Structure formats: structure tokens, C-alpha cells
Amino acid sequence: MFRNYLITAWRNIIKNGIFSVINIFGLAVGLMSCILIMLFVRQEIGFDSWLTDSDRLVRMHTSYSMPNRDKFETVRSAGSMMPAIRDYAKNEVETGVRFIQFGITVRKGEDAFAEQATMVDSSFFSLFDLPFVQGSKTSSFNKPMDLIITERLALKYFGRTDVIGETLTICCVSDNTSEVAITGVIKNLPDETHLNTEMIVRLQPLLFSEDDGTLHTWTSLNVYTYFKLKPNVTMEQFQQRIDYWMDNESPLRDMFDNNETVTDFVQQRLMPVPDLHLNAKQHAGNMGDLTPMGDSNMIRTFIVVAGLVLLIACINFMNLSTAKASKRAREVAMRKVLGASRTQVALQFLGEAIAIVILSLMFALVAVEIVLPLYNELLGKTLELRLFSDPALLLSLLLVAILVGLGAGMYPAFYLSKFLPGQILKSTKSVESKSSTKMRSLLVVFQFSISIILVISTLVVYGQTVFSNNINVGYQSDNKLVLNVRPARENLASLKQELLSLPEISSVVYSSEAPTQDDENNNYFKLLETHSDGTANEQVLLNYHNMDFGFFEAYKVTPIAGRLFDENYGSDEINLVPENSSEPGKGSVILNETALKELGFTSAEQAIGKTLAHEVRGKQHLTIVGVIPDIYFRSIKFDVRPTAYTLNPTRLRAASLTFSTDDISSLLNKIELIWKRNVPMQPIELEFLSEMMKAQYNDEVTTAQLFLVFSLLAVVIACLGLYGLSAFTVERRTKEIGIRKVMGASVRDIVSLLIWQFSKPVAIANILAWPIAAYAMLSWLESFPYRLSELWLIPICLGVGLLSLIIAWSTVGGNAAKVARKNPIKALRYE
Amino acid sequence: MLKLHNLSRSYQTDNIETMALDNVNIEIKKGEFVAIMGPSGCGKSTLLNTIGMLDNPSAGDYIFAGENVAGYSEKQLSEIRKKSIGFIFQNFNLIDELTVQENIELALIYHKIPAAERKQRVEKVMDKVGIAHRAKHLPNQLSGGQQQRVAVARAVVGDQPMILADEPTGNLDSAHGQEVMEMLQQLNAEGTTIVMVTHSPAHADYARRTIHLFDGHVVNENVRAA
């Protein structure tokens, strides 16, 4: 019996030629998309769950919502919190650890390498039980400044892994170069972790004085805090304990009135470590995490997209199977006459469907192997398909195949097994019913709606990326290089002079941040003069940047009122005074338009000459000398903040170089030579501003590219289905076409008749898809304060509509023309 | 009306050449009613299709209304066919998805006749064949006889001077068969040239002339005295 089924199935696959190819190819592409997305999703949701006792590890995030201030959120916390909470919540917490993350320079011979180091409490390995290659967590981490590195670093610096006792020359943990001995080597961390540490240094408390803002603070948020819960303690229980402590016993209590609840303003929120990669974004505010954060929305979107692509392939299968049903009606009838029950017939067809899906799965797996390198490049990942060493994957794929087989085969099986043998064997008429034709049209509409929604979404995501890249940021960003001059503090003057001596470089300006370098320097400013209408002056929170003379000139920013900073006035530079001085320091300030409004001015001219009081390391009274238009220092994903620009030569960290040359590489070499001369033994960090600006939208670009690939696949599969269906329809309508031809229809009449038949569902699909896509994309765009105009949706929808019709026409046209040219007489005589 | 001169039609299948028509010479005059008879496979249908310009001869001449159409392209043939020839088939060949009225109208649509005139002509011809009360029905709601009447209506609605009928009574019972034959006779009386393939000697008797085919040759011609 089974053999008979197998033979029938195989011969049907062969006999149906083009239809089988469409089915198998479509399903293979659908399954391939699914597997690719699944590999990505699996890695994303598998972050950190491999850690020992990962279900007991949590991280503590901080959020401040103070009155009159923007909400401030970060995944970091204050240095004093961890020990205090660990000791208070003894019943809930086993231990805790703090990470202090910093960049260091490792010197080896004449070379200097930038590395990330993590300084951690001694408890680190009790929470993160990372496997040692050399040494062990008990023997290697006993005293401050013990240094554990990864195998990769050991190989990088020593070419071997047994490096215990070797020393690394490290710069600037404190201010001096020091030799640090390696006490242990751990295995490389897998990709699936939010930890990015390759050098783990045991905390040296002597490095942090009592008034330091890293370890001994309740409000400066500079460390990452993790706890390990006791077994059987839930995160919620621990959270309640922390909240109670915050409200009643923590030192923060003193910052608020007695009737105020601390947790209304400051919250310490916990998140399980395995959730961090995908969900930390919710708590991260504008600041990042240790490693780039995943995006649970994107994951969800791609799961949906994978499902839809597969669904489209399944619909092809359903449509072609039921369309072909009449061809197999006689077989069904004969089987029934010979004693088969309806269930047996249905099972036969289901089995056939599953067999075809499994065949498709094999092709899909080959395809995945082929495209995986490209896919990895696109995502910046190193995903692998380890089919045989990964039984879970193999099993889940088989499960998917069976589910898809059932999904795609159910309707045809039900439909085909319904045939009554008496009717079929007697009549020469087609057994095709009206309802199955309708069902097919409906499914085609569904397929095309999905494809159209995907394509419109792709175009909008792309459009927004293009828009973001081309938005007028308010300053001249072409031909700019940004150099990190943090390590060059003493040599800024000579560095600038030498750089300017290069003929390619027309200006070198210093600032605390270059454009795209976000900071969270916010401070309260108060206008001293009263407004003309007598409104009282509130303290206003402004973001502030520092710069040297010439910054705005170099970026071609012109003031809308007043002037830019000018050396000739001699009064612009902030004159810093000691913190206890009674006399305020003087200086000038330039505001952007948003700050102007925030301070209550109605015109830019009004502000000129007024005074802003401000307190950072001593009191300052700053004269407003100019107002500039809003410029996008940050990604346009965020609003422009009210900003004050001041002139403070002690806080300069970035140099902006304006250049003009065709020989970029020689320019870069020259700059590097100058750097090495002025700042020896420090790696150079030089970037094109245009690249930095583009990098702000990397996530969106990747999303757009993935979207593009998968929506194109969806379109291809849907078109294949339409092609198959049109081939079938043409076959079915041969007689009718013959009649029409005998009646005098021309080839053109026939082709347009058939094309219209297939344009209808595609047109309906458009009308259904447009509002859905528009709604979805408008809500997506809402997350961008500066976004593509909504009106763009109209040409995008119309364009996609036209394109879908053209695609449908060219898909169907070939089949239609072929049949229209056929001699009608054959169709009419022999049915 | 038309003249076939040394006309042959052969089919090539798997290296075997089959002569469906072999050196056929026939002349049909305007206003004639001709029946073609012969056993299965003798070439009747090929002959009818060739006359109907649905098939091209392999050799010989086909003079239709003074023009030799033997070498004409598909498009040219289609133009002549549309103007001059109406068809009736054994299996009716109505379009299942169209109503009676729409099926009949189809012929006129391809003649590019304006809608108002089409409606008028369709109604007239439906009255003539007695199918007007079924105008909105689909073919599968009609009996065989009714379907063939629709097919006849469709064949004549274009006012073509010649009708080709391929076993028009083959799928009908004798009563309905007779009905159709009487309709054809009536049309012939009104001046339409009719060429009909049939198996039934009784129905062949409606024709003035009967041509007997055997293995692609014309073997006999009977002319019935008027």
C-alpha cells in the first residue's frame, strides 16, 4: 500500500513537471528564509542563557524621573549601591559584582593597541563561572590587580596560551604606565553574550579615592551592577526588597521630603541577565550597553516575515494542488471504488504533501549552506548551520516540515478526498467547483497582499534611511575627519600646528564632542535678567558642549543673532574659579534655537547680552553672545536638545579636521605620522565624519536590507504561484479560448482576457494592502522625530501597485500568448 | 462560393505521415446545403475545418469568394472567417460561465458591433430559435436541444453567408435532432450556404447534395432532386 502511494506521489511529481518545480522551489525558498531567520533568532534569544545558573543572575538598572527634568535611564548604576543592597538583602542575594569598564592601551614593543578592560569585584567568578584554560577561579583571582585574559588576547600578545606570569604593559588605568602580571587565561567568550570583556582585572580599591565618582557615590551612574539570587528567590521578591530599602533606609531618602516616596523619582530596576541582549534597550535611554543591544521588535518582525514567506509558499502548494485536483479526480474515484475510505485518501494526499515538503527541505538546506556567508556578512554575525551536531535543530526542522506539509496539504487533502466516485466516473465534465476557484482567487489575493505589504514596508524603511542620511543637519559635514585627542591633552597646540602645516588640511578645531558623539552633559542654567513681561525665571536644564575658537566657522554654522566665539573680544573663554569662590567666573555662551525657546525668549535678538548663571565646579555667569540654528549633533532618531555652547579649553577631546584631497590614503598616513610624533605610544583613532554619521543608522540599514531580501523572495514565490496558476487556468480554459477564437477573437483579445483575470486579484490585493502597510509604516515612522513625509506613502503605494500589476502581467502574459496562438480546433474537438 | 482544387492535408506524428485528405476537389456554390458523410477517421472533420479555415491545407488550392486563401496567415484567415463563416459543433461548445444571451452576443463583440445594436440582434435571433425565455440561464441549466439552439443562434447572429455544422445532431435525441435540422433547412431557405458533417443518413437527406468521403478521398457524390 505504502509503496503504491510512494509510486503515485513520485510519478505525479514527475508528470506535473513545471507545477512540481514551482511547488518544490517555492517551498524550498520559503523554508530557506525560515531557516535563515531561525538561525538569527535562535542566536539572539539564546544570549547568556549558557551561563551557569543564568536564571539566577540579574542586572540592576537605574532610572531617574525628577521633576522638570527629562527622564534619565541607563543600564548602569551608582557605585555604592551594590555593597549596600547586597548586605541589606542577605536573604535574597548570594553575591553581587560591579563592572567598571574602561579603554586602555596595551603596549608591545613599538606598537600600541587599544583594548577594553573590565575591572570587577573579587566576586566576579562566583557570578560568571567562565571556564579557565590556564589557572582557576580560586587560584588566579586572589588579590587586587590580578589579570585574567582570554585565549584570543594571549595568542595576540604572546602567540601561546600558557602565559601565566607574563606581564602586559598597560597605560592609563591610573595615570601611569604599569606592568601587570597575567594570572589566568579563560576561554574565548562565545558570540552569544552581552559581556564584552577580554581583560578582567580584579578591582584595586586604592585606585578610587573616597570622593571619587565611580565607586563611592549614590548618584553618579558609572558601574554595571549584577547580583546572583539565592536559589528559589524570584527576581520580583528581590525587587520588592530593593524598593523597600530605597524608600525607607537608603541614603537617597535624605534627598527627598518625608512625604515623598523615593521610588517615585529614582528606581533601581532588575532584569534577568539572559533577557539583557534583547530587552535592555527598554531601560537603556540614550546610552548604550556593554555590547550592541539586540532589538526584540526586530526579532518579532522577522519571525513574522519568515512565517509569511513560508505561508506564501504553502498557498502556492494549496492552489496548485486543488487546481490540479480535477486531473487526479479519476484516481481518487477509482481508489474509492476499490475500497479506499475517505480518510485513507486524505492521508495519502497529506503524506504526499509532507514528502514534497521534506524534499523541499533538503533543497532549502543546501541553499542555506550556499547563502549563509552572504547572510552573515549582511548581519555582521557568524551564524552556522550545524545540522548533525545539533539534534534540536534537526528535529525542529523536521517538525516544521511536517507542520508545513500538514498546513499546505490539509485543504487539498480534504478537498480531493471529497470527490464522489459515481459522479466523476460517469461524467466527462470538469469536476472543478465554483467554490474551489473562488478559494484560489482568495488565496492569490492574500499572497499578493502580503507581498505588497512587505514591499511597501521595505521601501519606507529604505526611504527613511535615505532621508536620515540626507537630512540637512545644519552644518557642513563633507570632507571632515574626526580625531580623538583625549590622549593628547598636553600636546594640543603643537598637534594643531603640525596638522595645519599639511597643505591638504584647511582647518583643525577642537571640541568636547564631535557631531554624532552623544553626551549626557546636562546642567541647570538660570537667566538672571527678568523678561520684559515679568515672567519669573526657572532653572532650565540645558545640554552643553565645549569648544575652541573656530568650531562653528569650520562647520559653516552662521549665527541667527549676535556673533560666534571670537578671540579678539578676549572675554569669551570661561574664566574658571575655585568652587568656594564668592565671585562668579565669567565667560560667553552661545545658544541654539531650542534653548532660546526653553529660556522663554521670543526672539533671538532679545537674548543677546543677557546673562546665564550656571554652576559646574564653581559658579559662572555667562553672557549670551550669539544664537545659532538648531544643528543635529545627535542622530535624528532623537530630538534636538536645548543646548548651550561654551568655550572651555580644558575640556577638549575631539579634533575636527577639514581637508581637501584626492589622495586620501596619503593624507591619512601623514596625519598618523604627525600623531606618532606628538603622542607617542598611543593608538590613533581617526574617522571620517561621514562614516560616523552613517553608522548612526546601521541598524536601520541592516533591517532595510534584510527586509528587502525577504520581501523580494516573497514576491518571487508569489509570482511563481501566479505563473503556475495561470498555466493551469489556461489549460482549463482552452476550450473556452477556442470558442472565442472561432467566434473571431484575436490573439490580443485572448491575452487581455486572461491578463484581466489575473489582474483582478492583484488589484484587490493592492487595495487591501495599502491601508495596512500605510498604518504599519506610519506607526513605525512615529519613532523618528524627523521622518519621511507621510505623503511619500502615496507614490510608494501607487508605484508598488503598478509594479505588482506589471509583474502579474508579465507572469501571466507568456502563458496567455502561448494559448492564444494555439489552433482552436483541437481544444474544441477533443476534450 | 468556394472551390477546393487538388487539396491535401497530411499529419506528421512520430515519423508516420497520415493523409487525412488526399487530392480532394470540391466546389460548393452559394446557397447550397451540402452534407458530408463517411466512416470515422475518413477526414470529414479535417475537410470541414479546412473549409472553415481553422486548418491549413498541406497542398493544393482553396479558393474562397474568388481568393486563393491556401497560403494566408492565421490573422488573414481569422478576418475572412469572422466575416463569412458561422460554426455549429456536435458538443455545442458554449462557454459555461456565460449566459445564453452573453454566449450569443460573443460573436458580435468580436465583430466590433456597438452594444445597442448587439442587444437588438441577439434578442431577434433568440426569438427566432425560440430560446428567448432562457436568455439569463447558464448552458448547464439547459437541455442538449436547447443548448444546440443557442449554438445555432450564435452561428447566425453575425449574418455570415455560410454555416459549417460539425455533427450538429450527434449529441441530441431524435426529436431535438429533427428540430435542429429544420432550423438549418429554414436558414438555407433564407439563403445561407450550409455545409454539414453527419453520421445520420436521415439528417443528410435534408441536404441537396451529399459528399461521401473514405480514407481522405471523395468517393461518391449524390445530388437529390429538388
Nearest of A194, A215, A191, A213 to residue A203 by alpha carbon: A215
The answer to whether B28 and B48 have CB atoms below 8 angstroms apart is no
How close is the nearest chain B Cα to the Cα of A735, in Å? Answer: 8
Q: Is the dihedral of CA A165, A168, A170, A176 positive or negative?
A: positive
- List of chain A residues whose C-beta atoms are within 8 Å of the C-beta of residue B55: 823, 825
H-only helix segments in A471-592: 492-500, 551-554
Cell of B182: 429544420
Burial per residue of A777-794, b for 16 or more beta-carbon CB atoms within 10 angstroms, e otherwise: beebbeebeebbeeebbe
Regions in chain A scoring below 50 on pLDDT: 174, 428, 830-831
CB contact under 8 A, A742 and B94: no
Enter the C-alpha cell of residue A88.
541589606
Q: If you measure CA to CA, which chain A residue comes closest to B106? A: A743
Q: What is the DSSP letter of B140?
A: G
Cα–Cα dist A491/A38, whole Å: 52
What integer pLDDT is reported at residue A617 of this predicted model? 66
Report the distance separating Cα A87 and Cα A82, nearest Å. Answer: 9
Task: Find the helix or strand (DSSP H, E) in which A283 lies.
Answer: helix A281-284
Q: What is the ipTM of this complex?
A: 0.79
Residue whose cell numbers read 452576443: B105
C-alpha cell at A415: 478537498
What is the Cα–Cα distance from A281 to A293, expressed in whole angstroms?
7
CB-CB neighbors (< 8 A) of B91 in chain A: 828, 831
Contact A744 B110 (CB under 8 A): yes
pTM tops 0.80: no
Q: How far apart are the first and last CA of chain B?
A: 20
- Of residues B220 and B224, more confidence is placed in B220
Q: Which residue in A744, A821, A829 is closest to B111 by CB distance? A: A744
Closest CA to A750 of B106, B148, B152: B106
User: Do B54 and A744 count as a contact with CB atoms less than 8 A apart?
Assistant: no
Q: Helix (H, G, I), strand (E, B), or coil: what is residue A234?
A: coil
Q: For testing the chain A interface, which of B13, B55, B93 should be mutated: the one with the most A CBs within 10 Å?
A: B93
Q: Regarding beta strands A619-628 and A585-592, do their DSSP bridges make them parallel or antiparallel, or are they unpaired?
A: parallel
DSSP assignments along A419-485, one per residue: --HHHHHH--S----HHHHHHHHHHHHHHHHHHHHHHHHHHHHHHHHHHHHHS--SS--TTEEEEE-
Whole-number CA gyration radius for chain A: 34
Given this model, what pLDDT does residue A462 score?
Answer: 85
The 8-class DSSP code of residue A257 comes to -
Range list of H helices, A501-635: 551-554, 593-598, 604-607
Residues 6+ apart with CB under 8 A from B23: B6, B7, B8, B60, B217
pLDDT in tens, A464-508: 888 887 778 888 888 999 998 888 877 888 999 999 999 999 999
Angstrom distance (rounded) from CA A454 to CA A460: 10
* Side-chain half-sphere CA neighbours of A412 within 13 A: 29
CB nearest A740 (choices: B74, B96, B106) = B106
Tell me the pairing of strands A585-592 and A522-527.
Answer: unpaired
Q: Which three-class secondary structure string do you get for A368-426? A: HHHHHHHHHHHHCCCCCCCCCCCHHHHHHHHHHHHHHHHHHHHHHHHHHCCCCHHHHHH
CA–CA separation, A508 and B130 (whole Å) = 99
Burial code (b: 16+ CB inside 10 Å, e: under 16) for A316-353 equals bbbbbbbbbbbebbebbbebbeeebeeeebbbbbbbbb
Instruction: Please state, in angstroms and rounded to a whole number, the distance separating the CA atoms of residues A822 and A818.
Output: 7
pLDDT in tens, B138-160: 888 888 888 888 988 988 888 88
What type of residue is B225? A
What is the Cα–Cα distance from A558 to A550, expressed in whole angstroms? 12
In terms of CA atoms, which chain A residue is nearest residue B167? A829
Task: Confirm or reject contact between B107 and chain A (CB < 8 A).
Answer: yes
- Nearest chain A CA: its distance from B93 CA (Å): 7
The CB density around residue A144, as the number of other CB atoms within 10 Å, is 13
- CA B154 – CA B103 distance, rounded (Å): 7
The alpha-carbon radius of gyration of chain B (Å, integer) is 17
Of A433, A739, A740, A749, which to mutate for an interface test with B (greatest number of B Cβ within 10 Å)? A739
Residues A825, B95: C-beta atoms closer than 8 Å: no
Domains of chain B: 2-223 (3.40.50.300)
Contacts of A474 (CB under 8 A, 6+ apart): A557, A629, A630, A631, A632
The type of residue at A105 is T
Minimal Cα–Cα distance from A739 to chain B, Å? Answer: 7
**What is the DSSP-derived secondary structure letter of residue A230?**
P
Q: How far is CA A586 from the centre of its chain?
A: 45
How far is CA B177 from its chain centroid? Answer: 16
Q: Which residues is A657 bridged to in the sheet?
A: A481, A508
Whether A667 and A661 have beta carbons less than 8 Å apart is answered as yes
Q: Where are the domains of chain A?
A: 1-42+296-432, 54-284, 480-694
Cα A198 to Cα A189: distance, rounded to the nearest angstrom:
8
| Chain B residues whose beta carbon lies within 8 Å of the beta carbon of residue A825 | 49, 54-55
Query: Does the beta-carbon distance from B110 to A735 stay under 8 Å?
Result: no
**Contact (CB, 8 A) for A425 and A79:** no
Residues of A in contact with B45 (CB under 8 A): 829
Distance CA A116, CA A197 (A): 7
Which residue do the cell numbers 540579574 mark? Answer: A58
Distance CA A631, CA B127 (A): 83
Nearest CA-CA distance, residue A371 and chain B, Å: 46
The residue whose grid cell reads 574617522 is A687
Copy the grid coordinates of residue A167.
Answer: 606581564
Give the max Cα distance, chain A.
111
Q: What is the pLDDT of residue A831?
A: 40
Q: Distance between CA atoms of A105 and A112, rounded to whole angstroms?
A: 6
Half-sphere exposure of A366 (CA within 13 A, CB side): 7
Q: Do B81 and A744 touch (CB under 8 A)?
A: yes
* Chain A, nearest residue to B164 by Cα: A742
Cβ atoms within 10 Å, residue A433: 14
Contact check, Cβ <8 Å, A736/B97: yes
